[in-house]
Amino acid sequence: MTSGSRQSTAPSGRPARSAPLRRLTARGREESHRVASPLELFFDLCFVVAIAQAGVQLVHALAEGHAGQGILDYAMVFFAIWWAWMNFSWFASAYDNDDALYRVVTLVQIAGVLVLAAGVSRAFDDHDFLVVWLGYLIMRLAMASQWLRAARSARGSERTMALRYAGGVLLCQVGWLGLVLLPEPARPWVFLVMVVAELAVPAVAEKDYATSWHPHHIAERYGLFTIIVLGETIAAATVAVKSAVDEHNALGELLPIAAGGLLIVFSAWWIYFVVPIHGHLRSNRQAFLWGYGHYLVFASAAAIGAGLEVAVEQAVGKAHISTMSASAAVTLPTALYLISVWALHARHFKVGIAQQLVLPTTALLVICCTFLGEWAVLAAGLVSALAVVVGVTLTARMVARESAPPETAEAA
C-alpha cells in the first residue's frame, strides 16, 4: 500500500469529511468503490466547451478548403485542452481530498479552459494565441499550486516528485510563450518542442516515485470523457443537419449522412467500451502509453463531428470543397479512431488473428469508402457497424468453444 493508507476514507471511497481544509495526501491504489466525483464530471463538461469551439473552427477551415492549416491549428489547440485535462485527471486520481481549497483550485482550472475556449477563434483566424496562452496559463498555475500543496504534505521521494511536477509545469508554461512572441513560421516548431517537453514532465517527475493513481478510477475517467466527446459529436452533427433542413429543405441529401454518422458514433462507443481496460493498467509504463495515446482517441472522436458538419455543408452547397474532400473529413478521423482504440487497448483482449484483424481491416475499408461519393458516410457507418457485428460474433464463438465439454470442442 502506498502513502494513501495515511488518509481515512468514507465507505464510498471518497475522503472522509472532517474539516473544510485538510492535508493533501496520497490516496490508496486499492480503494474500493472508487468512482468519478461530481466535480470531475463538471470539469469534463466544461472542457468539452473548448473542444466544441475547436471543432467549429476546424469545420470552417475544412469547408473553405484550408485543410492543412486547419488541422495544424486544431492539433495545437486540442493538445492544450487535452493535456490540461489529463494532468488534472491523473493528479485527482492520486490526491483528490475534496476539501474546500481543492475544489476552489479546480474551479479556477475550469475558468482557465473557458478563457482558452474564448481564444480559439482568434487562434484559427488570426493565428493569435495570446488568449489561448492566457487560458492555459490559468490552468497550469492552478495545477502547479496543487502539486506544491501535495509537496507540502509529503516527505522524501514523494515530495521530490511533487516538486518536479510543479517545476516542470511552470517551466513548460514559459516555453509556450514562443507561440505568442515568435514569428508565425516558427510556431509549429515551438509546438513540437513543447509537446515533447510536456510529455517528458511526468516521466522525469516519477522516475523515483510513482503516484498512487487508481486503475479503475482512471479507466472510468477516460471512458466518461470519451462518452462526452462522442455526445458532442452527435450534438454538432444534429445541429448541422437541422440547420441544413431548415435552410435548404435537403432532407434527401442529408439522410445518408445522418444515418451514416449515427452508425459511426454508435460503433465508436461500442468498440471503446467492449473491453474492461482497468485490468491492463497496472504499471506506469503501461499507463503512460495508454494515457498519452488517448490524444488521438479524443481528437479523432471530436473531429468526426466536425467532419459530419463539413459533409452536411458540402451536401447543401455551402462548403467550397469536393465531395471526396468532404467524405475524407469523416472517413479519415473515423479510421484514426478505430486504429487508436485497437492499438491502445482492444488488441490486448483479442484472441487469434481473426479478432486482431477486425479493427485494422475496418479502418482500411472506411478509408476506401472515401471514394464512394455522396454515399461515403453511409458506407463508412455500415462498415463500422459490421465490425461490431463481426467482433461480437467472433467473441461469442470463442466463449461457446471455451465453455463446451472437451469432446464437443475437439469435434468443432
What are the respective helix, strand and coil percentages of the chain, to the nearest 5?
80, 0, 20
Q: What is the pLDDT of residue 33?
A: 79
- The enclosing domain of 388 has a CATH number of 1.20.1410
Distances (CA, A) of 190 to 172, 197, 262: 11, 10, 38
Instruction: With respect to residue 412, please indicate whether it lies within any of the assigned structural domains.
Output: no
- The Cα–Cα gap between 139 and 217 comes to 22
Q: What is the pLDDT of residue 198?
A: 95
* Chain segment 220-279, per-residue pLDDT in tens: 999 999 999 999 888 888 888 887 777 767 677 788 888 999 999 999 999 998 777 766
Residue 89, helix vs strand vs coil: helix
Between 36-45, 86-95, 152-161, 390-399, the lowest mean confidence (pLDDT) is in 390-399
Given 212, 227, 248, which residue is the final one in a domain?
212
Both 336 and 357 in one domain: the answer is yes
- The Cα–Cα gap between 64 and 45 comes to 29
Instruction: With respect to residue 1, please indicate whether it lies within any of the assigned structural domains.
Output: no
Instruction: With respect to residue 271, please indicate whether it lies within any of the assigned structural domains.
Output: yes
Both 330 and 188 in one domain: the answer is no
Instruction: With respect to residue 363, please indicate whether it lies within any of the assigned structural domains.
Output: yes
Both 153 and 201 in one domain: the answer is yes
Both 174 and 241 in one domain: the answer is no
Both 258 and 188 in one domain: the answer is no
Instruction: With respect to residue 16, please indicate whether it lies within any of the assigned structural domains.
Output: no
* Chain segment 135-183, per-residue pLDDT in tens: 999 999 999 999 999 999 889 999 999 999 999 999 999 999 999 999 9
Instruction: With respect to residue 27, please indicate whether it lies within any of the assigned structural domains.
Output: no
Contacts of 347 (CB under 8 A, 6+ apart): 356, 359
Instruction: With respect to residue 275, please indicate whether it lies within any of the assigned structural domains.
Output: yes
Both 291 and 400 in one domain: the answer is yes
* Chain segment 265-313, per-residue pLDDT in tens: 999 999 998 777 766 666 556 677 888 999 999 999 999 999 999 999 8
Both 366 and 263 in one domain: the answer is yes
Both 243 and 389 in one domain: the answer is yes
**E strand residue ranges, 214-276:** none
Residue with cell 493565428: 127
Both 175 and 251 in one domain: the answer is no
Cβ pair 319, 63 in contact under 8 A: yes
Q: Which residues does residue 9 pair with via DSSP β-bridges, in sequence order? A: 15
- The Cα–Cα gap between 25 and 106 comes to 16
Given 191, 212, 233, which residue is the final one in a domain?
212
Q: What is the number of structural domains in the chain?
A: 2
Residue 9, helix vs strand vs coil: strand
Taking alpha carbons only, the member of 169, 174, 237 closest to residue 204 is 169
* Chain segment 81-139, per-residue pLDDT in tens: 999 999 999 999 999 888 899 999 999 999 999 999 999 999 888 888 999 999 999 99
**How confident is residue 12, by pLDDT bands cut at 50, 70 and 90?**
very low
Which residues constitute the domain of residue 308? 216-407
Instruction: With respect to residue 253, please indicate whether it lies within any of the assigned structural domains.
Output: yes
Q: What is the pLDDT of residue 32?
A: 81
Given 193, 212, 231, which residue is the final one in a domain?
212
